[in-house]
Amino acid sequence: MKPDAKRRSRIVSRLSAIAFLLPMTLGTTAQTSLRGTPSQHAAPGSHADVVAPAAPARPPAPPLPGSFDVRQFEAMAQALVAEQRVPGLAMAIVHNGRVLSARGYGVTDVSAGQPVDAHTVFRLASLSKSFAGTLTGLLVNDGSLRWDSKLSQYLPNFRLSDPDAARRLTVADVLSHRVGLTHNAFDRDLEQYVDYRTLTQKMAYAPLRCLPGTCYGYQNVAFSLIGDVVFAATGDFYAEEVQRRLLKPLGMNDASLGLEGIQASPSWARPHVRGRGGWVSVMPKATYYQVLPAAGVNASASDMAQWLIAHTGHRPDVLPAPLLATLHQPLVDTPSEIRGSSWRRQRLQSAGYALGWRVYDYAGHRLVFHGGAVQGYRGMIAMLPDLDFGVALMWNSESALPSGLLPTMLDRALGLPAQRWLDEEFESPTYFVEASQSKPTAPAAPGSAASASTAAPN
């Protein structure tokens, strides 16, 4: 055969292969049918099967209102760290694929005074759950998993108190907190330094509220079973896959996983708790780093700007639009989220949980959200898809004050009437250390006041 003929033959063969593989690829691009709870999210007549809608071509985002002044929000952030109302804070704001602001405020440690900047790393706590859902979606795209894959296929020794429930549990159930266990099962044990492997074995004796896929119960330990599934499906540890598939390609160069990851960062924010004389820095508590998918990621304002840009659809080379549509599709109602803080009571009309993300109706607009809390750290991330707008906040203390920044910015972006969300404590109570424990220099002993922590149901 002549060279040109050989070349034409190779091209034809490649095109034929692509034509054969393309339908298979599209069929696995995170579009697997997801079993959902009968709710407002289920498609009519679908017996609660939830399939993410095809993502239409997105028109350009509308401009933000003229009253949305980034400098004003930066000034608010600066005011929050004035006189150490909170020690340090990082904020990222994006719109239409552009970074409007990614800065740090205050100090990493009240006893040292090193300033927080755009590359200072904070512990993300439960904001980490969005990374677990996203990584799993990429494996679904690859064909390594399906959303409806049974956990028993990858973890044959996994047990629940009902054998049928263990056989029924799917990947999507784990990532949407529909395992069937009571809320925050085994979190108290985790906080007392019981190891993760022991806790997964204790699930065999834990009471079930419902069969998997039929009710919502927020989890940290059970949620992190997805890390074991990732290892079984890929042969690589969860942390390595997150680095390879997400952090590196998205340019999240400051981000890491685990306690060693944050401590190795050139600049990282120390956690702070309240002492009688004000904020006291402590060592990061290692407990929730045992559950990397639930609470193990560390990142800076610069990193979170890139995460927001990717999840608002501007990195299709890494996160294709059909995958995002699936990740942000609520699978179960979470009505308790409408109660609680003032902005939730006044602004939220409905709430649900998707795959590592919460999804709210915020004053008639879709809001994709998650919050996080562990000892000495708090954080929030939110996106308004209609506006192609996103914001992330992280701070290194147990104050709830900065949480008022989020609804303030959302209201301004949506042109809603101004409300006074700042300068009031809205979230769950903070945790205190007694005067005798005001200067711990090592991880607090289990059961001590300084060891109190929570990966709250955010």
CATH fold of the domain at 31-458:
Beta-lactamase (3.40.710)
Question: How many CA atoms within 13 Å lie on the side-chain side of 168?
Answer: 15
Sheet holding 122-123, edge to edge: 122-123, 297-299, 256-257
**pLDDT, position 349:** 97
Position 349, amino acid: Q
Tens digits of residue pLDDT in 311-327? 999 999 999 999 999 99
Q: Where are the domains of the chain?
A: 31-458
What pTM does this model have? 0.84
Checking if the pLDDT of 353 tops 70, the result is yes
The pLDDT value recorded for residue 83 is 87
* Angle separating helix axes 70-81 and 405-414, nearest 10 degrees: 170
Query: Do 178 and 229 touch, CB atoms closer than 8 A?
Result: no
pLDDT for residue 4 is more than 60:
no
Buried b (16+ CB within 10 A) or exposed e, 165-192: bbebbbbbbbbbbbbbbeebbbbebbbe
CA pair distance 29, 26, nearest whole angstrom: 5
Work out the burial of residue 96: count CB atoms within 10 Å of its CB; fewer than 13 is exposed, 13-18 middle, 19 or more buried.
middle
* Number of other residues whose CB lies within 10 A of the CB of residue 91: 28
**Interval 158-209: pLDDT, tens:** 999 999 999 999 999 999 999 999 999 999 999 999 999 999 999 999 999 9
For the stretch 212-266, pLDDT in tens is 999 999 999 999 999 999 999 999 999 999 999 999 999 999 999 999 999 999 9
Inter-axis angle of helices 225-234 and 129-142, nearest 10? 30
pLDDT digit string, tens, across residues 267-325: 999 999 999 889 999 999 999 999 999 999 999 999 999 999 999 999 999 999 999 99
Q: How confident is the model at residue 61 (pLDDT cuts 50, 70, 90)?
A: confident
For 49, other C-beta atoms within 10 Å of its C-beta total 13
Tell me 219's DSSP state: -
Residue 23 has pLDDT above 60, yes or no: no
Rounded Cα–Cα distance for residues 444 and 122 (Å): 20
CB atoms < 10 A from the CB of 11, how many? 10
